[in-house]
Amino acid sequence: MSQEWKDAIRAEEQLHAVCPFCHTLNFATANLGLWPYGEAGIAQVKKGHTKVQEHPDKDQLEVGELEGKKVVFGCECGRLEMFEAWIWNSRYEIVDYITLRAAAEIAENKALEEKAGIAKARLAVVKGRGEKS
């Protein structure tokens, strides 16, 4: 995975996070001093989780955000890395899609603005009639 992908989804460091794709609790243990209660803190975080993945080589995990959900780099499911590969491999189609979709949205907004302008003009005419009589 690339640094650009990490930057795009605003990856930040966290000691632990649950992967929203596979529901695995991921936690970093290279520096136990970072955990407020050391091993006891880790045990507390692991409570109730059936799927856990320890990252003994990392001081902290890199956790980004997609659709408002925290996403974990390095989770064994690999979904986050698959998304990046899919986006990059489909980039031309995605750029075309965004271009076409944005043009359609702009056209729709312009049509709405025109309708609103016509309605506003009619209202002014109606009000004008009311003021005269």
In angstroms, what is the minimal distance from the CB of 17 to Zn ion? 10
Shortest distance in whole angstroms from residue 100 CB to Zn ion: 32
Instruction: Determine the longest span between alpha carbons in the chain, in angstroms.
Output: 84
Closer to Zn ion at the Cβ: 56 or 128? 56
| Burial class of residue 111 (count of CB atoms within 10 Å of its CB; 0-12, 13-18, 19+) | exposed
Q: How many CA atoms lie within 13 A of 42 on its CB side?
A: 19
Give the Cα separation of 118 and 122 in Å (integer). Answer: 6
Query: Which is closer to Zn ion, CB of 22 or CB of 66?
Result: 22
Q: Which residues bind Zn ion (CB under 5 A)?
A: 19, 21-22, 24, 75, 77
CB closer to Zn ion, 12 vs 108: 12
Nearer residue to Zn ion within complex by CB, 57 or 131:
57
Residue 99 CB, nearest approach to Zn ion (Å) = 32
Asked if 83 and 75 touch (Cβ cutoff 8 Å), the reply is no
Q: Min. distance of Cβ 60 from Zn ion in angstroms?
A: 17
- Sheet containing 25-28: give its strands across: 16-18, 25-28, 52-55
